[in-house]
Structure 1
Amino acid sequence: YKIIWLISDYRTKEITNQMKNHKTLLRVCALVLAALIFSGCSAVISNPVVAQVGDVEITYSQFYNLYETYASYGMIDTSSSDKIKEAHATIFDQLINSTLPVAVAHQQGITLTEEEKAAAMESVATTMDSYLKQYLDESIADETARTEAAIQAFNKAYKSNGITYETVKAEVEQAHIDDALGKKIADQVKATVPSATDAEAKTWYDEQIKTEQEKYAEDATAYYYDNQYYTYSGAVKPLVAPEGLFYVKHILIKTEEGEAQAEGDETLEVSDSMSFADPETTAKAILEKVNAGEDFDALIAQYGEDTGMTAEPAKTQGYVIGEGFDGVYDKAFYDAAMELKETGDTSGLVKGSYGYHIIRRVGDVSADPIPYEDVKEEILTYLNNKNQADAYNAALEQWKSEITVETYEKRVSYVGLS
């Protein structure tokens, strides 16, 4: 068995890249890895192989770390023993899919060029420096001596685990090599896929408009959620909006109750930039400024405590709202916004779950489809990515029929149950 509890899973990065638009998860996995490295897991010394993909081993720590990452962010259901078993299958699938390209490269004798290997090694030094950071003694003036002392301190801290700095470094280097090999194989597959044509993009555009019109006619809030998805994940923006939606902006003055409420909510993001002893008095003073004709956007920037109002596209457009959005927004906010009938209409002081709002209607959402030329490049990029992903997934299935895959479920059967 490899003695590598600390290292585990640089392949997590490649795995999460294969998932649908979980961009932030790449940073999450790096944080999880760092936490595990320095968490002092002295109870686990051996790191058994839990799966074999061709000549590539998948270890317990790779499985455990990916499971913990997915569980922490609600990407798997761990509510019962049966659900945990299903989660185990999901984790195995992800690990196997990420390892298959490496096994294929080994089988086909594909290696990295010196340039590719050098590129893979570029971040190793940075990674290893981050592992040593907490052991650096700044009182040692000489940089070489300071690093050597940190390595000795690291080795001492993990001696009982049978782990050394050099062991960790070797595993990190191998993980980067494997990632680069996997990417090389994946890129070869994707390179065989022809680029999407303008005609294909236009056909997709026409069909998508019809799909969205039907979808949003049934549920206008789906437009809101699709916009949110686009804002955070990319792909293609919604091409058409349902009738009757409009934009609002607001100035939020938080209360203590509102701050607590906002901690678990993603719609209104409360900043920590200001703190008022008497929020109601402050809100009334701001309302007087609004009624006196002061610039609303400037007042948002100066006093508003919803950070969502400072980020695009809401900073420029405002929040989308309309009939049926009562499940999207705080009820008091929604009710007050729906009373604003014309662009420029402004509410009085509105007390909601988050604090005091001053809300202004700032424009209507056009129900006309976005012109094709405005979204053509987005659509072409989306289609190219989709076609490449489809080809790669087909290749994965083909490789599974060609590469021997063994899993040892019993070795991870207790993960998530303790």
Structure 2
Amino acid sequence: MKKLRLISLILVCVMLSGCSLIVKDPEVDGARIVITVNGEEMNKKAFTEELNANIEMQKQLEVFYKSYGMQAPAVSEEEIRDNTIDDIVRNTVLKQKAAKLQLDVLSEEDIKQLEKDTENSWNNIKNGMKARFFTDSELEGEELEKALEEKAIAEGYSKKEENDRLKNTLIMEKLRQETIKDVSVTAEEIKAEYDSLVARDEALAKEDPNEYGRALMNRQTNYYAPSGYRMVKQILIKFLDENQTEIDTARGVLSDKETAFTQAESAYNANEEALKEENISTEKIQELNDKKAELKKALETAEDEKFQAEDDLDTALEKGYAAIIEKAQGIYDRLIEGEDFDTLAQEYNEDTGMPQEGYAVRKGFEDFDIAFMDAAMELKKIDDVSKPAKGIYGYYIVYYSADVKEGAIDISKVQEDIKADLLKQKQDETYENAVKLWTDESEIIIDKEAIID
């Protein structure tokens, strides 16, 4: 009777636990078909390998973000799984379409290029292995080559897989080109886009005229110029490295002293406000008055130290200017004597970020050092050159190169760029619409329950 009750109890436990006591056969489970696209099947084992690779890639991305002190975009394993399914379906549909159009049949030229690309890619992988693992190695020649090959394979790389990857990329590009070959852009579309961009930038200029100067500074095309702009170029003579180090140190000290002064001032003012409060005890008033003297002394000390830091920075700056004034003055003298500004700028300018056409500036433009702006706006006419002006980086020698005409940019200057952008947009849209159509027409079976199980 006891045995019967025990058997009954075991049966109840099994029923309550569902299938949790059933041990899966990994081979049988891995062989289950989880995705079918037009009869082409993928089993669970192959899917899991791709899923795990994508999960590992996400982990590496998180490590990369963390190394720069940033937080990687949060992505759940469920999202990674769904994205993996979508990618597999899309890639399978595209491969099938390419095969149907016989685009997977490579020409001799394609094969030669593929071999070359594979060799280059494999060499890059081996160079990566060398940089990571063999920097101190004494191996040379064939021995080193063999070691690099073996290490690349041990790290999960394969020359055949690289060839397959590049071959697939080539075929996919051929499919894309075949799909978009008839896409074009009309003159009317270009004009409509131009008008839209002009209207956009005109509205931005009315809201903030400085947007035009910022756009050009960042090498972005702006389609409408507000009034008052001029183009200027500069020859920057930077502080010598040793002087720049002293200046940076002095600026750092001053920043700390300014912070200390602000804190001391806030503490003193807070104490003063506390003394003004009503209904405070005699003891509290005495305490605040005693503290006032202490806080006042701390404030005076902080102010003295701030003034000293300002003097030290001025001294460091003057020392820096003195070391480069002869060079700056010599360049200015040559310009006054008639030498070409662009030629001298090419030789001496240390502003590596200056656009070729220079900077667009206007009265009130606040994105540059005030010393640079003062020098630029004091110039009376085109071709005028400023005397060397003391700035935060060294000496500025500023050249008034042109006026900026108010209004819309000439369409001839931008129509090719607009055409290229529109063509790219239309090509992308055409291709994605085609991919959606091919996918919608496909017979796709996804056994999500088997994937999750």
Length-normalised TM-score, structure 2:
0.56
By how many angstroms is 1:399 displaced? Answer: 7.2
State the partner residue of 1:106. Answer: 95
Taking structure 1 as reference, are residues 64 and 301 closer, same or farther at Cα in structure 2, changes over 3 Å only? same
Taking structure 1 as reference, are residues 109 and 372 closer, same or farther at Cα in structure 2, changes over 3 Å only? closer
State the partner residue of 1:198. Answer: 187
State the partner residue of 1:125. Answer: 119
Alignment of structure 1 residues 162-177 onto 2, 5 Å: 162-163=154-155, 167-177=157-167
Task: Give deviations 1:35-62, integer Å, cap 9, x for gaps.
Answer: xxxxxxxxxxxxx95755xxxx854454
State the partner residue of 1:296. Answer: 341
Hey, what's the Cα distance between the residues in 1 that align with 2:375 and 2:386? 7
Structure having greater relative contact order (Cα 8 Å, sep ≥ 6): 2
Hey, what's the Cα distance between the residues in 2 that align with 1:344 and 1:191? 49
Taking structure 1 as reference, are residues 341 and 352 closer, same or farther at Cα in structure 2, changes over 3 Å only? same
Unaligned 5+ runs, structure 2:
1-46, 249-319, 449-453
State the partner residue of 1:23. Answer: none
Taking structure 1 as reference, are residues 365 and 278 closer, same or farther at Cα in structure 2, changes over 3 Å only? same
Correspondence 1:349 to 2:341: no
Percent identity of equivalent pairs: 25
Taking structure 1 as reference, are residues 131 and 304 closer, same or farther at Cα in structure 2, changes over 3 Å only? same
Considering fraction of residues, name the structure with more helix.
Answer: 2
State the partner residue of 1:18. Answer: none
Unaligned 5+ runs, structure 1:
1-47, 141-145, 232-236, 262-274, 408-418
Alignment of structure 1 residues 237-386 onto 2, 5 Å: 237-255=221-239, 256=241, 278-309=323-354, 314-315=355-356, 317-327=357-367, 329-386=368-425
Hey, what's the Cα distance between the residues in 1 that align with 2:235 and 2:124? 41
Taking structure 1 as reference, are residues 249 and 107 closer, same or farther at Cα in structure 2, changes over 3 Å only? same
By how many angstroms is 1:176 displaced? Answer: 0.9
By how many angstroms is 1:169 displaced? Answer: 0.9
By how many angstroms is 1:277 displaced? Answer: 9.4
Contact between 2:225 and 2:409, CA under 8 Å: does it hold in 1? no
Taking structure 1 as reference, are residues 393 and 361 closer, same or farther at Cα in structure 2, changes over 3 Å only? same
By how many angstroms is 1:294 displaced? Answer: 3.3
By how many angstroms is 1:276 displaced? Answer: 11
Contact between 1:101 and 1:186, CA under 8 Å: does it hold in 2? no
Hey, what's the Cα distance between the residues in 1 that align with 2:212 and 2:447? 44
By how many angstroms is 1:400 displaced? Answer: 7.6
Correspondence 1:154 to 2:199: no
Paired residue total: 316
Taking structure 1 as reference, are residues 119 and 395 closer, same or farther at Cα in structure 2, changes over 3 Å only? same
Taking structure 1 as reference, are residues 287 and 58 closer, same or farther at Cα in structure 2, changes over 3 Å only? same
Correspondence 1:388 to 2:440: no
Larger Rg: 2
SS at the partner of 1:302?
Answer: helix
SS at the partner of 2:409?
Answer: coil
